[in-house]
Amino acid sequence: MSDTDRELRVSKIRNGTVIDHLAAGQALNVLALLGIDGSGGEGVSVGMNVPSDKLAKKDIVKVEDRELSQSEVDVLSVISPEATINIVREYEVIEKKRIERPEYVEDVLSCPNRNCITNAEEPIRTRFMVLDDGLRCDYCGEIVREDEVPSRLDVS
Amino acid sequence: MRQDHLISATQLSRADIEAVLDRAAEIDADPSAWQGRHDGSILGLCFFEPSTRTRMSFDTAMKRLGGRTIDMGAVESSSVKKGETLADTMRVLEGYADALVLRHPSEGSAKMATEFVDVPLVNAGDGAGQHPTQTLLDLYTMRQNAGLDDVTVGIMGDLKYGRTVHSLASALTNFDIRQHFISPESLRLPRSVRYDLHESGAQVREHTGLGEVLGELDILYVTRIQRERFPDENEYLKVAGEYQISAEDLSAAKDSLTIMHPLPRVDEIASDVDETDHAKYFQQAHNGVPVRMALLDMLLSEEEAQ
Ligand SMILES: [Zn+2]
Contacts of B128 in chain A (CB under 8 A): 115
Cβ contact, residue pair A141, B191, below 8 Å: no
Q: Say how far apart CA B106 and CA B256 lie, in whole Å.
A: 38
Distance from the A127 Cα atom to the nearest Cα atom in chain B, whole angstroms: 11
Task: Answer whether A81's CB lies under 8 Å from A99's CB.
Answer: yes
- Position A67 scores a pLDDT of 83
Cβ contact, residue pair A117, B112, below 8 Å: yes
Cβ contact, residue pair B105, A140, below 8 Å: no
ipTM of the complex in this document? 0.91
Asked if pLDDT for residue B126 goes beyond 60, the answer is yes
- Position A73 scores a pLDDT of 85
User: A42-57: per-residue pLDDT in tens?
Assistant: 889 999 999 887 768 9
**Known active-site residue B82:** yes
**Known active-site residue B63:** no
- Position B208 scores a pLDDT of 94
Q: Which of B50-54, B171-175, B214-218 has the lowest mean pLDDT?
A: B50-54
Burial class (CB in 10 A: 0-12, 13-18, 19+), B257: buried
What global pTM score does this model have? 0.89
**Known active-site residue B53:** yes
Residue that wins the pLDDT comparison between B142 and A73 = B142
pLDDT band at residue B229, thresholds of 50, 70 and 90?
confident
- Position B77 scores a pLDDT of 64
Asked if pLDDT for residue A1 goes beyond 50, the answer is no
User: B251-293: per-residue pLDDT in tens?
Assistant: 999 999 999 999 999 999 999 999 999 999 999 999 999 999 9
- The 10 Å CB-count burial string (b at 16+, else e) for B140-164 is bbbbbbbebeebbbbbbbbbbbbbb
- Position B227 scores a pLDDT of 82
- Position A108 scores a pLDDT of 85
Cβ contact, residue pair B112, A138, below 8 Å: no
- Position B148 scores a pLDDT of 97
Q: Say how far apart CA A6 and CA B105 lie, in whole Å.
A: 56
CB atoms closer than 10 angstroms to residue B22: 13
Spot the catalytic one: B23, B55, B104, B131: B131
Mutant choice from A124, A133, A140 vs B, greatest count of B C-beta within 10 A: A140
Closest C-alpha among B129, B142, B137 to residue B175:
B142
Q: Which of A4-8, A62-66, B43-47, B170-174 has the lowest mean pLDDT?
A: A4-8
Q: State chain B's mean pLDDT as an integer.
A: 93
Cβ contact, residue pair B195, A143, below 8 Å: yes
Spot the catalytic one: B5, B23, B38, B54: B54
- Position A3 scores a pLDDT of 54
Asked if pLDDT for residue B154 goes beyond 80, the answer is yes
As a whole number, mean pLDDT of residues B148-164 equals: 95
Interchain CB contact of A40 with B (< 8 Å) = no
Phi first, then psi, for residue B125 (nearest 5°) are 120, 115
pLDDT band at residue A6, thresholds of 50, 70 and 90?
low
Cβ contact, residue pair B106, A117, below 8 Å: yes
Say how far residue B251 (Cα) sits from the centre of its chain: 29
- Position B228 scores a pLDDT of 80
Contacts of A138 in chain B (CB under 8 A): 111
Interchain CB contact of A116 with B (< 8 Å) = yes
- Position A9 scores a pLDDT of 45
- Position B265 scores a pLDDT of 93
Interface of B with A (CB under 8 A): 8, 85-87, 104-109, 111-112, 115, 126-129, 191-192, 195
Residue that wins the pLDDT comparison between B106 and B1 = B106
- Position A84 scores a pLDDT of 92
Asked if pLDDT for residue B76 goes beyond 90, the answer is no
User: A13-36: per-residue pLDDT in tens?
Assistant: 899 999 999 989 889 888 888 888
pLDDT band at residue A155, thresholds of 50, 70 and 90?
low
Burial class (CB in 10 A: 0-12, 13-18, 19+), A156: exposed
- Position B117 scores a pLDDT of 96
Residue that wins the pLDDT comparison between A80 and B56 = B56
Helix (H) or strand (E) holding A68: none
Closest C-alpha among B85, B197, B199, B107 to residue A137:
B107
Q: Which residue of B has its CA nearest to A131?
A: B195
- Position A8 scores a pLDDT of 47
As a whole number, mean pLDDT of residues B17-45 equals: 96
